[in-house]
A and B are shown apart, each in its own frame.
Chain A
Amino acid sequence: MQGGWSKDMVGLRISVRFALFLFVSSLIAPMKVSSLGVKDTQLVAEVRNKGWIAFSARTENGDWDLFLMRPDGSRLSNISNTPKLNEMGGRFSPNGEKILYRQMPMEKEFAHDQWGAQGQLVIAHSNGANPVSMGAPGGYPWASWGPDGKQIACLAKQGIQIYDLASKKLIRSMSRKGIYQQFFWSPDGKWFCGPANYSGERWTVVRLDAITGEVNPVSNFQNCTPDWFPDSSQLIFSNRPANQEIVDGGKMAASVGERPDAGWTQLWRADGAGKKRTLVYGEDGRHIYCGAISPDGNYVLFTRSPKDGVGLKNDGAPIGLMRLSDAPVIRGDSIALRRLISRSNEGPVLDLPAGWEPHWTSAQVEVPGGK
C-alpha cells in the first residue's frame, strides 16, 4: 500500500482518469474526423440536385465517351456509348436541352489542347439522344454556343465565324486577334475568350469584344482553359505562375517526369478586365485545368492531374468540385504556395470520377438508368 491508498483505490483512481481521458477524447476526436466528413456531406447535399455535369471519360473499351452525372457523382451514365469512336468537349446549350461535342475515330489521338479543331462537331439532345454530325472532320472548329442556343461561334485560322444553326449559314466573321484555342462565347453574347498570342506572349488569356473586336488581357504568362462565369463579368482560368519555389529539391516534379522548375498549374479567377485576380484552388503535385463554373455561380469544377496535359494519355484526371465561397482552397502540403497565400481553406472538395472537360447545366435532363 502507498501513501495510505489501497490497491482498490489506486485502481479506481486509474479507472477514473482513464474514463476522463476517454470522455475528453470522445469530445475531440469525432469533431476532427466528422467535421471534414460533415462538411463533405453538406456539400454533397447542397449540389446533388443542382442539375447535371457532362464530361468525357475513358471506358473499359479504351475509347473516350461522353458521360453525365449528378454534381455529387451519383447517377453516372454513359450517354454516347460508341466503342469505335471518341467523344470529347461536351458543352450544354444555354437552356440545357442540347449538348455539342467533338467526335472522331478511336484510333486517332486527341490533342489535349487542340481537341476543338479535331473530329466532327456533333449536336445531340442533352441526354445524348439523336446525335447529328455537322460538317466534315475539322469543320466548325471550337464551336461554342451563342446566348440563345441558335448560333455557334467557331474559331478558325481565318478568324471567328458565327453560324446560324438552323440554316448552317455563316452570319458574321471577325478577326480572332491572336486567340488560338479553348474558345468560348460569353453567356450574355458580348464577349469571347481564349488563350492568345498577345503582345509577344503566348498563353495569355484574353477577352475579345464580340462587336468591336477590341481585345484586352485577362491574365498574362502561362494561362489556359478559360471559361465564363454565368454573369459574363468574370472568368475562371488556369495559370502556372513563374518562378515557383522548389521546396523538395524537385522530387515531386521528377516523380512525374517533369522539370524541377516547371511549377504547378493553379486555378484562378479575374474580372473581364483582368483585375481582381485571386487564387481559387492550388495543390502542389497537381496541375489544375478545365475550370467550369456552376450555372448559379456558386461552385466550380476542375481537373487535378498529377502530370501536365490533363491526363489525356491515361484516363483523364480526377474531377474536383468546391464552393467558390471557400476559396482559396489549398490542398496537400503545398509549402511554397501556403507561404504566398496566407489565408486559405482545406476544402471541402468533392472528389468526382476521373474525366476531362466537365460542363454543368441546371436543366433537368432525362437520363435513363445511371448508377
Chain B
Amino acid sequence: MANNSPTRRIWVLIAIIWLGTFLSCEKRSTKQIDPELASSGSAEITAQLVEIPGEFPANDFYNYAYVFKYRVLEVHRGQLNGGEVFVAHYNPLKPRLAAGDEFSGKIGGNLERFRSGQIHRMALEEPLDTYWMGGIIDKYFSQHGVRYWAVWTNRVGK
C-alpha cells in the first residue's frame, strides 16, 4: 500500500479524532466535581483547617457538633466573604461517610480524619441551629461569626 493512500489517511484521521476526544475527557475528569458538593447546601467553599483547638470527646453516649476555624481559599457558591469562617462538623471522630444519622440529617464526603492544615472542599448550610439540635463544642465562642453546618466534606490534595 502506498503511504498516501486514502485508507491510510482515513486511519490517521480516526486516530486524530480519537486522541482529541481522549485528551478532552481527561481534562474534564480532572476538573470533575463531586456532584454531592454541587447539589448540597447553600454555599460551597474550599478552605484550610487552621487548627484543632481541643480533643474530640468520644461518642460513647452523646452526639455533638464541633466548631472548627477555616481560612477560606475559594468561594464556589453562596454569599460568603473570604477570610476565616467557623464550620461545625458532626461527630468529627467519624469518617464523613459514616457520620450521618437520624439526628444529623445528610452528612457525607470522602474525609476520613480531621487534621490541622488539611484543605477541605465543603458544602455548607446556615444557621447552625436550624440544622443541628444538640450539644455544640465551640472553643471560639467569644469570636463573632456565623457558624456553618458542614453537609458534605471532601479532602482536597494529599
Contact = CB atoms under 8 A, between A and B. Distances in A.
* Chains A and B form a bound pair: yes
Interface of A: 111-114, 117-118, 138, 155-158, 176, 178, 180-181, 195, 197, 199-200, 202-203, 308-309
Given A111-B103, A114-B103, A157-B129, A309 B135 contact: no
A238 to B, nearest CB: 13
Given A111-B103, A118-B102, A309-B61, A181 B130 contact: no
A308 B57 CA distance: 15
> Nearest 4 CB-CB pairs, A to B?
A200-B141, A202-B135, A157-B133, A197-B136
B130 A158 contact: yes
Interface hub of B64, B103, B135 (most chain A Cβ within 10 A): B135
Contact of A200 (B60, B102, B138): B138
25 contacts: A111-B63, A112-B61, A113-B61, A114-B103, A117-B103, A117-B133, A118-B102, A138-B102, A157-B129, A157-B130, A157-B132, A158-B130, A178-B129, A180-B133, A180-B134, A180-B135, A181-B133, A181-B134, A195-B135, A197-B138, A200-B138, A200-B142, A202-B64, A308-B61, A309-B61
Contacts of A117: 103, 133
B11 interface: no
A180 B133 CA distance: 5
Interface in B126-152: 129-139, 141-142
B22 interface: no
Nearest to B140: A200
Contacts of A202: 64, 135-137
Interface hub of A156, A176, A197, A202 (most chain B Cβ within 10 A): A197
B135 to A, nearest CB: 4
Contacts of B130: 157-158
A157 B138 contact: no
Nearest to B139: A200
B104 to A, nearest CB: 11
A138 B101 CA distance: 13
Nearest to A157: B133
A96 B149 CA distance: 41
A158 B132 CA distance: 9
Contacts of A178: 129
Interface SS of B by simple majority: loop
A195 B64 CA distance: 13
Nearest to B135: A202
Interface in B15-52: none
Given A157-B129, A180-B134, 13 more contacts: A112-B61, A114-B63, A114-B134, A157-B130, A178-B129, A180-B133, A180-B135, A181-B133, A195-B135, A199-B141, A200-B142, A202-B137, A308-B60
Nearest to B103: A114
A155 B129 CA distance: 12
A211 to B, nearest CB: 21
Nearest to A179: B133
Contact of B62 (A113, A118, A176, A200): A113
A137 to B, nearest CB: 9
A344 B81 CA distance: 58
Interface in B92-137: 102-103, 129-137
Nearest to A200: B141
B135 A157 contact: no
Nearest to A158: B130
A311 to B, nearest CB: 12
A111 B130 CA distance: 20
Contacts of B64: 202
A203 B135 contact: yes
